[in-house]
């Protein structure tokens, strides 16, 4: 499918570059008027997931997968919820294990390749609800989970799932991980790493025999964290093995439904390989849109409650 020419032009004048376009919405944007009904479901391995629903009585459902150390209350999730509800679509935002205010039961947490938990959510919805039209969406890490799931299922995807759309998504995880080594990205590295280390400290209270807190205190990079903790807890050799093994571009060629990838060219957390131009040109199911501006999960529009990404996902999924 030809690469899509984006209609997103200019963010608010005070968002001067990709970093500001990323940080300001993350810290300051609020979305009012969203309320959830929480449902807790069991996972096949004896853990649980918290699903946050916002229903308007529709026969269409949007399933949202959030980003790294996010949850259903992040601005980008609530923006999708509010906009899709206004257009007559029910929405569910599922919280990855340990996210959403409640630590999970098992030693594992979550990661970019945790498509097995998205599969649990999808099967729960299909088994217990009557939605003939289901759409999948993901933001950042949640986009990676979504793309991996779509490729893994390929032509075995449930027929109720009609379309998917993701944005600010690390299509190639090694390339994205490498951006966190840049001096210009130290703010993001420190913020994410601090939150994840706090999460591991909580996990150590449950499984002290598995967690070396002295080692955790010495960790100062994502390579170290993912080698000693993410990889160890989830069965990978080291950080490099983890990044390569779960990278969604291992599966994207098998996606069998119309799928939009919206990645800004000035996204500070996406490396060059996160823009799958050749695949999009060769694969009719894949639509790639690369606006020059937008940052990471930004895409703000002057004097507008919703972001360009939220409007774009609504247009693509419900067209």
pLDDT digits (tens, 9 = 90+) for 211-252: 999 999 999 999 999 999 999 999 999 999 999 999 999 999
pTM for the full predicted model: 0.97
**CA 124 to the chain's CA centroid:** 20
**Rounded distance between C-alpha atoms, residue 263 and residue 271, angstroms:** 11
Which residue bears the tokens 């699903």? 51
C-alpha dihedral, 178 to 4 to 285 to 267, nearest 10°: 20
SS3 14: coil
Q: What is the mean pLDDT of the chain?
A: 97
SS3 53: strand
Sorted by where each begins, the domain ranges of the chain are 18-173+249-318
Which pLDDT value is given to residue 10? Answer: 84
Tokens of 100: 């959403």
CA 10, 70, 295 angle in degrees (round to 5)? 20
95, 43 Cβ separation under 8 angstroms: no
C-alpha distances out from residue 66 to 36, 92, 139, 154, Å: 15, 11, 5, 22
Any idea how long the chain is? 319
6 φ, ψ (degrees, to nearest 5): -80, 145
pLDDT digits (tens, 9 = 90+) for 35-53: 999 999 999 999 999 999 9
**Rounded distance between C-alpha atoms, residue 259 and residue 254, angstroms:** 11
Tokens of 184: 């210009």
Which pLDDT value is given to residue 283? Answer: 96
pLDDT at residue 203 greater than cutoff 90? yes
SS3 135: strand
**Rounded distance between C-alpha atoms, residue 159 and residue 39, angstroms:** 24
Q: Supply the DSSP symbol for 202.
A: H
Give me the helices (H) in 139-276, please: 141-153, 173-179, 186-206, 213-218, 222-225, 231-234, 239-246
Residues in contact with 274: Cβ distance below 8 Å, sequence separation at least 6, in sequence order:
169, 170, 171, 172, 175, 176, 263, 267
pLDDT digits (tens, 9 = 90+) for 254-287: 999 999 999 999 999 999 999 999 999 999 999 9
| The CATH number of domain 18-173+249-318 is 3.40.50.1820 | yes
Question: What sign does the dihedral 148-152-153-154 (CA atoms) show?
Answer: positive
């Amino acid at each position: 499918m030809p690469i899509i020419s984006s209609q997103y032009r200019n963010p608010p004048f005070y968002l001067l570059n990709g970093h500001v376009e990323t940080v300001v919405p993350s810290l300051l944007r609020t979305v009012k008027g969203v309320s959830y009904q929480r449902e807790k479901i069991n996972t096949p391995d004896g853990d649980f997931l918290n699903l946050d629903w916002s229903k308007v009585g529709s026969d269409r459902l949007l399933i949202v997968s959030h980003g790294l150390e996010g949850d259903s209350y992040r601005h980008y999730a609530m923006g999708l919820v509010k906009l899709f509800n206004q257009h007559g679509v029910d929405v569910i935002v599922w919280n990855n294990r340990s996210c959403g205010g409640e630590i999970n039961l098992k030693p594992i947490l979550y990661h970019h390749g945790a498509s097995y938990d998205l599969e649990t959510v999808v099967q729960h919805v299909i088994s217990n609800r009557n939605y003939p039209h289901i759409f999948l969406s993901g933001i950042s890490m949640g986009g990676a989970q979504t793309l991996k799931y779509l490729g893994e299922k390929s032509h075995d995807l449930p027929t109720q799932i009609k379309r998917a759309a993701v944005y600010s998504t690390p299509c190639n995880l090694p390339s994205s991980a490498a951006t966190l080594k840049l001096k210009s990205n130290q703010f993001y590295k420190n913020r994410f790493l601090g939150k994840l280390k706090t999460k591991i400290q909580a996990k150590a209270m449950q499984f002290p025999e598995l967690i070396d807190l002295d080692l955790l205190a010495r960790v100062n990079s994502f390579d170290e964290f993912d080698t000693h903790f993410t990889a160890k807890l989830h069965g990978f050799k080291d950080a490099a093995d983890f990044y390569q093994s779960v990278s969604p571009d291992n599966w994207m060629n098998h996606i069998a439904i119309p799928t939009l990838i919206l990645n800004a060219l000035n996204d500070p957390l996406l490396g060059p390989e996160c823009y799958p131009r050749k695949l999009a040109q060769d694969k009719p199911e894949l639509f790639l849109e690369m606006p020059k501006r937008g940052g990471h999960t930004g895409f703000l529009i002057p004097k507008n409650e919703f972001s360009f990404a939220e409007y774009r996902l609504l247009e693509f999924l419900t067209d």
